[in-house]
Amino acid sequence: GAGVSQSPSNKVTEKGKDVELRCDPISGHTALYWYRQSLGQGLEFLIYFQGNSAPDKSGLPSDRFSAERTGGSVSTLTIQRTQQEDSAVYLCASRLPYLGDSYNEQFFGPGTRLTVL
C-alpha cells in the first residue's frame, strides 16, 4: 500500500520568504508527526497531531513555525520569514491508533529537503 508522502521533495528558497511543506499520511493513520533532521541538531521532534488537534507543539523552534492538519489527513508545515538555519530535511511520520503491540510505531515519509539561500 501507499506510504507517507511528502511534497515537494526539494525546496530552495530565499531568506525571508515563506514556505509550505505538505505531508500525506497513510490512510487510517490517526496520528501525525513532524521532525527535522539537520547536520548540527540531528533528528528533532517538532509537533504531533492527534486527528486535527496538536496536543504537543513543544518542538517548534520559534513562532515562525506553524502547522495544521485538516480532515484528519493532510498536514502542512509552514515556515514564515525563512532563515538560513531553517535549512534541513523535514520528515513527516504517521501511525495507526494504538492496538496491541503497535505502540508508537511511526512510519516515515521520504522528507522535504529545504535549502534557504
Partner 1 sequence: AQSVTQLGSHVSVSEGALVLLRCNYSSSVPPYLFWYVQYPNQGLQLLLKYTTGATLVKGINGFEAEFKKSETSFHLTKPSAHMSDAAEYFCAVSFFGNEKLTFGTGTRLTIIP
- 21 near partner 1 (CB under 8 A): no
Q: How many Cα atoms within 13 Å fall on the side-chain side of residue 95?
A: 14
Q: Which of 11, 74, 80, 107 binds partner 1 (CB under 8 A)?
A: 107
Task: Report yes or no: 77 and 91 within 8 Å, Cβ to Cβ.
Answer: no
Binding to partner 1 in span 72-101, by CB under 8 A: 91, 93, 101
Task: Report yes or no: 112 and 10 within 8 Å, Cβ to Cβ.
Answer: yes
DSSP 98: P
Least distance to partner 1, CB of residue 67, Å = 14
Least distance to partner 1, CB of residue 18, Å = 24
- 59 near partner 1 (CB under 8 A): yes
Give the three-class secondary structure for 84: helix
- 109 near partner 1 (CB under 8 A): yes
